[in-house]
Structure 1
Amino acid sequence: MPSLTRVPRSARKPAEDRRVDFERRVLRAVEELLAEGIPFTELAVQKIAAASGSARSTFYRYFPDKSRLLIRMAELATTDLFAAAEQWWADEHADRRAGVVRAIGVMIEGFRAHRHLLLALSEVATYDREVGAYWRSRVATFAALVHTRLDADRAAGRLADDLNPTATALVLTSMVERTITVACGLDTGISDEEVAEALGRAIWLVVYGDAP
C-alpha cells in the first residue's frame, strides 16, 4: 500500500531547486529583519532560521557561518544590478548618454530593492576579511570589464588618445558604487531619477567628453 505521507520520488524537487527555494526564503528573512533595524552583526542564526521557517541544522548545511551567508545573499541581490551595467558596457553606445542613464536607473532600482542587505554588506566589508575580499573581487571583475571596453574603444579611435583605461575604469567603478550607496543609504532629498541622470551624465562626460 502506498504511503500517504511520503512524497513520491517523481514529485520530489531536485537538490538544486530545494537550495534555490531555501536561499530565497533566507534572503527574504534577512532583509525583513534588517528592515526592522536589527544590525547584521546582531542577527542570531536561530532568529534567521526561525524567520525563514528552517531548522538551524539546515541553515548550517548551506551556510557554515554568517560571512558566507552575507556573501551568498549579496550574490543573489546584485545579479540584476551588475547585469544592467555589464549590458551597457557590452552594447554599442549610439545613444551614449541616454543608455547609461537607463543602466544607472536599473542599478539604483536594484540596490534600493535590497537596500538593507547591501548597506549591511558595505559596512561588514570594512572589517570582515572574507566579506571584504569577496566584494573587492566582485567590483574588480566589473572594473576589468570596463577597462577592456575602454581600451578597445580607444584603440578604435572612439576615445581620446590620452584616456587611461586602467585609471578611468577605477574612477568610474568607484564613483558608481559610492554614489549609489550614499543615495540609497541617506535621505539626500534627491530623487533616484535625478541621481541616475547626474551620474549617467558624469560617466558619459568622463568617457566621451573629449572624444574625437
Structure 2
Amino acid sequence: MATTTQPRRKIRERRDDVRRRVLRTAAEMMADGTPYTELPVQRIAERAQVARSTLYLHFPDKSRLLLALADEAVDALFGEAVIWWRADHSDGVDGVARAMRQMIAAYREHRRVLHALAEVAGYDPEVAEFWRERIRRFAAVVQNRLERERRAGTVDPEMDVRPTAQVLIWTVERTISAHCHHDEGAGDEGIARTLARTIWLTVYGTTPAPPHGDRRPANR
C-alpha cells in the first residue's frame, strides 16, 4: 500500500509545484506592467520553466489561469468586509473604516488581477459568471445581516434588504476601484472613512459616533 501511495504523492506534489510556478510567474509578469490580456501563454510557460503542453494540462486556457489568480484576489478583497458584516458592530463606524482600509489595501495589492478580471468579464462568459458568483456570495452575507437587523428592529423596518445590499456592495467596490486607479495612496484614509460613514448611515440611519480618542466634552 505504501509503495502505491508514495508515487501518487510525488505526482501530486509535482502537479502542485507546476501550478504554483505558473501562477507566480503570471503574477510577476503582470507586476512588471504587462496587462494580462497581452501575456502570451508561451512566455508564461518559458519563464515558469514548464512545457506549454504541461501548462495547458493545468489551465486549458487563459481564462482558467485568470480565474485561479482571481480566487485569492477576490478573497482578499472581500475577506475583511465579510468579517465586519458578521461582527457585532459595537465599535461603530470605526469598525467599518477598518474593513474599508483592508479592502483598499487588498485592492492595491491585487489591482492588476482585479483589473484583468473586470476587463475579461466584459467578453468572457465564464469569467463573468465567476465574478457574479463571488458578488452573490458576498451579497448573501450582507443581505442576511440586514434581514437579522430588520427583525431585531435596529434598522428601518421598511428597508428593502436585497437592493440595499446590492447598492452597498457596488458602491464600495466601484469606489475603491476608481479611487485606486487615480490615487497612489494619499487619499486612502479619506475614502475609507467616507465609505464607512456612508455604509453606517445607510444601514442604521444615525450619525456615527466620533472616532475613539477624538471624543470632545460637550459645551456647557
TM-score scaled by length of structure 1: 0.85
Query: Using the alignment, how far apart are the partners of 1:98 and 1:16 within structure 2?
Result: 45
Q: Does residue 137 of the first structure (1) align with residue 97 of the second (2)?
A: no
Check the 8 A contact 2:100/2:196 in 1, yes or no: yes
Answer yes or no: is 1:193 the counterpart of 2:155.
no
**Residue 143 of structure 2 corresponds to which residue in structure 1?**
147
CA contact (8 A) 1:119 1:185 kept: no
The corresponding residue for 2:71 is 75
Residue identity (%): 47
Alignment of 1:1-212 (within 5 A): 18-187=14-183, 190-210=186-206
Contact 1:160–1:210 (CA under 8 A) maintained in structure 2:
no
1-structure distance, mates of 2:29, 2:79? 27
CA change 1:185–1:27 in 2 (3 A) is: farther
Aligned AA (1:163): M
Which amino acid in structure 2 is aligned with residue 66 of structure 1? Answer: K
Cα RMSD (Å) of the superposition? Answer: 2.3
Alpha-carbon shift at residue 71 of structure 1 (Å):
0.9
Contact 1:111–1:118, Cα closer than 8 Å, also in 2: yes
**Could you say if the C-alpha distance between residues 209 and 94 of structure 1 is closer, same or farther in structure 2, counting changes exceeding 3 Å?**
same
Q: Which amino acid aligns with 2:154?
A: R
- Following the alignment from structure 1 to structure 2, what is the Cα–Cα distance between the partners of residues 176 and 14? 44
Deviations 1:137-165 (A, max 9, x none): 11111111100110111110111112111
* Total equivalences in the alignment: 203
Letter in 2 for 1:100: V
Supply the distance in 2 between the matched residues of 1:72 and 1:201 (Cα, whole angstroms).
34
The 8 Å contact of residues 27 and 73 in structure 1, kept in 2 or not, is answered as yes
For 1:116 and 1:133, the matched residues in 2 are separated by 19
What CA distance in whole angstroms lies between the structure 2 residues aligned with 1:13 and 1:106?
37
Per-residue CA deviation, residues 31-69 of structure 1 (Å, 9 max, x unaligned), is 222233322222111111222232222211111111111
Give the aligned residue type for 1:160: D
Q: Please, what TM-score do these two structures have when normalized by structure 2? A: 0.83
Q: Does the CA-based 8 Å contact 1:124-1:132 persist in structure 2?
A: yes
Alpha-carbon deviation of 1:198? 1.3
- For structure 2, the 5+ residue unaligned runs are 208-220
Q: Structure 2 vs 1, CA of residues 125 and 162 (structure 1 numbering), >3 Å: closer, same or farther?
A: same
2:216 aligned partner: none
Q: Compared with structure 1, are the counterparts of its residues 16 and 169 closer, same or farther at alpha carbon in structure 2 (3 Å cutoff)? A: farther
Counterpart contact for 1:34–1:116, Cα < 8 Å: yes
The separation in 2 between residues aligned to 1:78 and 1:50, in whole angstroms, is 27
Amino acid aligned to 2:70: A
Q: CA deviation at 1:23?
A: 3.8
Q: Which runs of 5+ in 1 are unaligned?
A: 1-8
